[in-house]
Amino acid sequence: MKVPGFEVLDVLGTGAMATVHRAVQTALQRHVALKVLHPGVARDPDYRERFLREARAAARLSHGNVVRVYEAGEHDGTYWLAMELVEGEDLSECLGRREALPEDEALDVAVEVARALAAAEEHGLVHRDVKPENILIGRDGAVKLADLGLAKAQGDASITAEGVTVGTVAFLSPEQCRGAADLDIRSDLWALGAVLYTMITGDMPYGRGENAVVTMERIVQEEPPGLEGRAGASPATVAAVRRLMARAREDRPATAAEALALLEDAQARVGLAEPAPGPAGSAVRRARRARRRAGSASAWAGARARGRPASSLGLLAPLVFALGVGVVVGVALRSERAPERESPPASPAQVRSVSTTPRQGGAR
């Protein structure tokens, strides 16, 4: 296969519509993920339009939790899309290794996906295919929402043929199962709730979706299963999943920003409020990402139950927290005992060290 301007290296994965290759964009010597539409699919004008729509929709988004799209085109009947190469694994592969995630880690992933959906909503887009396979976890632990191939403008039904519902059955919202044309962001929020349920329990809310018709009927007719009594989930997380997966759209959060606030509140109630800006907060964020990428959260929990530490990664988060508390308490005591004393200004070296520390989650 030849795509002008790219050196194709190997295959990363194959789906129903396209194959994704690892490639080098020769002009910039940049490694990219090159998505190439299958020839049989490319002959269908509707699928070609859907594929090009992915490029247009994704190119409008510039957000740390969304896979970036660089370029798209066609050559001798080959339709291709060059996008950010995220080295790591998708959430489905992660769950395949670990079965389920601790509540705090699952909430952390859900919050970052909610941020991606909020960015999409700002551009008037509905993803329509939020599922573990489309949630990528980089080697640095960054979470990115991928595959906007099914994305469309809110209220635009032109891409979906009459009577055909596009998406993955197990994570389709009730209105998608009914074939509704007027989908909005609340459909994605239902899917996000289903993903959060799956992360915590290791089970999909309505089964694996092997029988599409039965699964869709259950999604439409049955109340979603709750997290009550499952994996020791906290009441705030139970309530968040229940609201995200409400059968009636009007009972869900009205916007992705509202869903994000709901999930962040659940984080705060289990002691995972967003870290403050600055070096200490950055260290906490890095620790969370390290736990995600290495799968060390489960090992840490198991070792803690046995009364011994698992690894340096497992100890990093509580150590950072303890150091942060100690600094705050120490500053408070110094202020109380010697208010007339002022702290010496930071040296230039210290200032440079803080200001030049890069944030994680950049281009990979």
Q: Is the pLDDT of residue 308 over 90?
A: no
Domain-located, residue 361 = no
| Closest C-alpha among 252, 317, 260 to residue 107 | 260
Task: Determine, yes or no, domain membership for 364.
Answer: no
Residue 8 β-bridge partners: 23
Q: Does the structure show a pLDDT above 70 at 361? A: no
| Model confidence pLDDT, tens digit, residues 192-234 | 999 999 999 999 999 876 788 899 999 999 999 888 877 788 9
Q: For residue 274, what pLDDT is reported?
A: 55
Q: Which of 122-126, 194-198, 330-334 has the highest mean pLDDT?
A: 194-198
How would you class 255 by CB atoms within 10 Å of its CB: exposed for 0-12, middle for 13-18, buried for 19 or more?
A: middle
**Alpha helices in 133-211, H assignment, sequence order:** 174-177, 185-201
Report yes or no on 156 lying in a domain.
yes
Q: What is the pLDDT of residue 154?
A: 53
Q: Say whether pLDDT at 363 is over 70.
A: no
C-alpha closest to that of 30 among 1, 7, 13: 7
Phi/psi for 170 (5° steps) reads: -65, -20
H/E segment holding residue 78: strand 78-84
Q: Are residues 156 and 104 in the same domain?
A: yes
60: pLDDT confidence band, cut at 50, 70 and 90? confident
The reply to whether 241 and 110 lie within a common domain is yes
Kindly state the average pLDDT of the residues 319-335.
Answer: 41
Q: What's the DSSP call for residue 66?
A: B
- In this prediction, residue 125 carries a pLDDT of 84
Digit-coded pLDDT (tens) for 145-198? 987 655 655 554 444 444 445 557 889 999 999 988 888 999 999 999 999 999
132 or 305, higher pLDDT: 132
145 and 192 assigned to the same domain: yes
Q: Which domain holds residue 68?
A: 6-84
Same domain for 226 and 184: yes
Quick one: pLDDT at residue 290? 56
Q: Are residues 128 and 217 in the same domain?
A: yes
Count: domains in the chain: 3
- The answer on 254 and 137 residing in a single domain is yes
**Active site residue ranges:** 129
Q: How far apart are CA 259 and CA 46, in angstroms?
A: 32
Q: What is the pLDDT of residues 226-284, one digit of tens each?
A: 888 777 889 999 999 999 999 999 999 999 999 999 999 999 988 755 555 544 444 44
Comparison of pLDDT for 71 and 361, the residue scoring more = 71
Query: What integer is the mean pLDDT of 319-341?
Result: 41
Question: Is the per-residue pLDDT at 66 higher than 50?
Answer: yes
- Is the pTM higher than 0.75? The answer reads no
Do 78 and 92 share a domain, yes or no? no
In the prediction, which pLDDT does 317 show?
38
pLDDT band at 41 (very low <50, low <70, confident <90, very high): confident
Per-residue buried b or exposed e for 97-135, using 16+ beta carbons within 10 Å of the residue's own CB: eeebbbbbbbbbbbbbbbbbbbbbbeeebbbbbbbbbbb
Let me know if residue 362 belongs to a domain: no
Rounded Cα distance between 6 and 19, Å, is: 15
Q: How many helices (H) and strands (E) does the chain have?
A: 13, 10
Average pLDDT over residues 316-326: 40
* CATH, residue 185: 1.10.510.10
User: What per-residue confidence (pLDDT) applies to 49?
Assistant: 78
Same domain for 232 and 137, yes or no, is yes
The pLDDT, as a whole number, for residue 131 is: 93
126 and 204 fall within a common domain? yes
